[in-house]
Amino acid sequence: MGFIVEEEEYERLFPIVTTIIIVLNIVIFILEIFYIDILINYAFTPVEFIHGERLETLITHMFLHGGFLHIFWNMYFAYVFCDDLESVYGHYFFLLFYILSGIGAGVIHALLTILLDSVFHTGISTIPSIGASGALFGVLASYAVFFPKRKLRIGYVYGYYEVTAWNFVMFYAIMETIMIVFGAFDYVAHTAHVGGFITGFIIAYIYKRMGKVRIEKKYIVEHD
C-alpha cells in the first residue's frame, strides 16, 4: 500500500476529535514501550468476550498497537480519512461513530473467530488482538458511502494510479473477506477489519438516508 492523496477537499470543521484520537494513540504507544503490561492487560481476546470477561477491552484494544509500522499506517489512514467524516457527522457523533465501529469490529471478530475455531480448530479465538484497524475500516466504509466518486491517488514506486473512493474501499473489503480464510495464520485480525467495515457501512447508510449529513457541498456528499 502506498501513500494516498485525496481530490481537493472542501471547507470543513477543524478535526479536533481526529486530532485527539491520533495523539492519544501515539501517547499510548509510547507508554507501551516502557510498560509492556498495557498490552497484556488491555488487549481484546475473543474467547474472554464470549465468556463475558474483560468487556472493557472492546474499547481499550483499539488504542493499542504492536509496532511502529502498525501505528504509523493506522494513524496515517486516520489522518487521511477521518477529518472528512468528522465534518459530515459533527464532532460528537463522529466520536460515537468511531467507538461504535471499533466495538462492532471486536464483537464480529469474536463471533467469527469462535465460529472458525469450531470448524478449523485454529485456536485463533484465544489470540489477543490490538489496533485501531477495526474502527478505521468502519471509517473507510463510511467514507465510501459519503464520498463514493471522490478520486484518490494511490502512490507506488513508479508513480501513482487514480481510483474512486468507492472502488478503493470495496476492493479492500473484498480482499479482507477473502483473507479471513486464506490468511488465518498471518496474525492479522481480518475478521475485525470486516466487522468494522460492516458496522461503519450500516451506520453511514442509515445516517445518510435519514438526511442527517451536516455539510452539503457540490461533489462532496453525493446522494443517489
Query: Side by side, which strands form the sheet with 159-164?
Result: 4-6, 151-156, 159-164
pTM over 0.75: yes
Q: Is 108 within the bounds of a domain? A: yes
Of 36 and 156, more confident: 36
The per-residue pLDDT for range 45-66, each reduced to its tens digit, is: 999 999 999 999 999 999 999 9
The answer to whether the CB of 158 falls within 8 A of the CB of 6 is: no
Return left, alpha or beta for 94; rule: phi > 0 is left, psi -120 to 50 is alpha, else beta: alpha
What CA–CA distance (Å, rounded) separates 156 from 220?
Answer: 26
Which amino acid type is present at position 104? Answer: G
Q: Is 136 within the bounds of a domain? A: yes
Q: Is 219 within the bounds of a domain? A: no
Strand partners, 161: 154
* Average pLDDT value for residue range 169-178: 92
Q: Is 21 within the bounds of a domain? A: yes
Residue range(s) defining the domain that contains residue 19: 4-209
User: Rounded to whole angstroms, what are the CA distances from 153 to 5, 71, 156?
Assistant: 5, 22, 10
- CATH number for the domain including 72? 1.20.1540.10
Question: For a pLDDT cut of 90, what percent of the chain falls above it?
Answer: 66
Question: For a pLDDT cut of 70, what percent of the chain falls above it?
Answer: 88
* Average pLDDT value for residue range 187-214: 89
Average pLDDT, the chain: 88
Strand partners, 151: 164
Count of structural domains within the chain: 1
Q: Is 125 within the bounds of a domain? A: yes
Quote the pLDDT of residue 222. Answer: 44
Quote the pLDDT of residue 180. Answer: 81
Q: Is 163 within the bounds of a domain? A: yes
What CA–CA distance (Å, rounded) separates 129 from 32?
Answer: 15
Q: Is 169 within the bounds of a domain? A: yes
Q: Where are the alpha helices (DSSP H) in 156-211?
A: 165-182, 190-209
Q: Is 220 within the bounds of a domain? A: no
Would you place residue 8 in the very low, low, confident or very high pLDDT band (cuts 50, 70, 90)? low
